[in-house]
Amino acid sequence: MNGVRHFLLALQFFTRVPVTGPLAAWVGFSPAMLRASAAHFPGVGWLVGAVGAGVFYLASAGLAGLAGALVAAALSTIATVLMTGAFHEDGLADVADGLGGSADRTRALEIMKDSRIGAFGAIALVLALGLKAVLLAALAEEGALRVVVALVCAHVLSRLAPLFLIRWLPYVGDENAASKSKPLADAIDNGAMRVGVAWSLPAMAWLVMTFGIARGLAPVLLGAMAALFMARLLHRRLRGFTGDGLGATQQVCELAIYLALAWHT
């Protein structure tokens, strides 16, 4: 029963899905519970990915050609952004602003805390959102159902990567300021990692069944490489992770998965 509570808390924290009233009272809240709920981050990806995939499939049914696929991909992306409240896109923009705005660690962290978006953040968002649409449209040449699989699995697997960052890196956010990741500052334990992996294994299997062994495992490998790149970047530049860094990692890994799947089209 605690697992259900932790999943619902993750859904409440990482998306705009309302968990209110008696249900919220039953779920409860504490920093320890929120830390435990991080294990269900990939589980949230199943729901977010399903919404994005459903929008893409319905939109593509009435839109023809490459232009139609691009529109369907854009609508799908809008749906997932609305569902998460641009939670991860905001992290990507802040990291781009911070790391692009200063080579000094302290100054970079200060920039990342600024709610205003700068040139680096705006450029990163435009490029990331545009690349998502183009890659999904390219994959759509093989059929909408393959895009459905790609969307769901990418949202699941890209949400596994931040768990490893929490596990490997120290938290470097401001402990005295409000932070969306402060309750996750302590490293998650082995049990939580096993839960995250358990949520992710069916997505890996679905990729292999849909695209074949070599092509189905390619996005897993490229996504892992992207996660390692982000871990090394955050360690080298910031000496640890922030909430924005976790969001940026999810976005980079999601893009890597789409790229690996579209590469062979």
What does DSSP assign to residue 187? P
The Cα-based distances of 260 to 13, 129, 142, 216, 219 in angstroms read 30, 17, 14, 9, 5
Q: What six digits make up the tokens of 265? A: 């089209």
Helices (H), 140-189: 144-157, 161-168
pTM for the predicted model, two decimal places: 0.92
Q: Is the pLDDT of residue 38 over 90?
A: no
pLDDT at residue 186, rounded to an integer: 62
pLDDT in tens, 125-141: 999 999 999 999 999 99
**205/182 Cα distance (integer angstroms):** 33
pLDDT in tens, 149-192: 999 999 999 999 999 999 889 999 765 545 555 556 566 788 88
**202/184 Cα distance (integer angstroms):** 25
User: How many other β-carbons are positioned within 10 Å of the β-carbon of residue 113?
Assistant: 15
The Cα-based distances of 152 to 22, 46, 51, 54, 72 in angstroms read 30, 6, 9, 10, 15
pLDDT in tens, 214-261: 999 999 999 999 999 999 999 999 999 999 999 999 999 999 999 999
For the chain, how many helices (H) and strands (E)?
Answer: 13, 0
pLDDT at residue 219, rounded to an integer: 96
pLDDT at residue 24, rounded to an integer: 72
pLDDT at residue 56, rounded to an integer: 96
Mapped onto helix, strand or coil, the DSSP state of residue 263 is coil
Q: Provide the residue ranges of all domains of the chain, joining segments of one domain with +.
A: 42-262
pLDDT at residue 61, rounded to an integer: 87
pLDDT in tens, 94-130: 999 999 999 999 999 999 998 889 999 999 999 999 9
